[in-house]
Amino acid sequence: MGERIVVSELKAWYGSNLTLKGIDLEIEANQVTAIIGPSGCGKSTFVRCLNRLHETLPLARVDGSVRLGDDDIYTMDPVDVRRVVGMVFQKPNPFPTLSIYDNVALGLRLGGLRNKYELQRRVEESLQKAALWDEVKDRLSSPAVSMSGGQQQRLCIARALAVEPEVLLMDEPASALDPISTLRVEELVEQLKGSYTVVIVTHNMQQAARVADKTAFFLNGELIELADTTKIFTKPDDQRTEDYITGRFG
């Protein structure tokens, strides 16, 4: 099952540039939380802080607390954090030299799983969760890059799910996809929240309205508002939220 995330006074820098200015935010377990806001507002930086990817960049640093259940992820080994907090990026990024099967199995093998039958079971289960099994079960040894863009993105979701995370972060997961593939990914997000806590960054407000239980609006590195998605899109508390949603800026 998913875990609740509690973010307190989270600040992030690129060099001397303060990108996140003290974010306080609670993300409920087994819900989809969408992060919206104009380009450069800190959305991607925020989700990269949730699995300690931000600090891997040159001159980047983070201050504050991110609690996952009872643990502060900034006191944990980053490798352990990324095992429980999976990430799917904007562009599908399967390992090009690996087969479909080996892409999904890689994280399991790196984690020490060697039993052939258990590997097969976990790979199949992950591909089923990513709504991809029926499309690829007869060509698991084919190169991952032989798949369509939408299939590659679902493969990356399967790869993230294989190591059994509690949280799945998705940074613009459908922005590079065609409308039909986008719909498949959105349907998948809806199914996944039964087992995972899902955070999705999106520039597509219709997508946020379709898939998210809660929506957070970011502006200039600050959290302006977090509420039920219906409220954010129909009766937000902050005029800046309304101005963004109605297209007055952004």
Within a domain: residue 113?
no
Q: What is the pTM of this model?
A: 0.94
* Biggest CA-to-CA distance, the chain: 57
Within a domain: residue 115?
no
Within a domain: residue 11?
yes
- Ranges of residues in the chain whose predicted pLDDT is under 50: none
Within a domain: residue 236?
yes
List, for residues 46-67, the tens digit of each pLDDT value: 999 999 999 999 999 999 999 9
**What's the one-letter identity of residue 33?**
T
**What range defines the domain where residue 24 resides?**
5-94+166-245
CATH number, domain with residue 206: 3.40.50.300
Within a domain: residue 46?
yes
Is residue 107 within 8 Å of 130, Cβ to Cβ? no
List, for residues 180-224, the tens digit of each pLDDT value: 999 999 999 999 999 999 999 999 999 999 999 999 999 999 999
Q: How many domains does the chain have?
A: 1
Within a domain: residue 156?
no
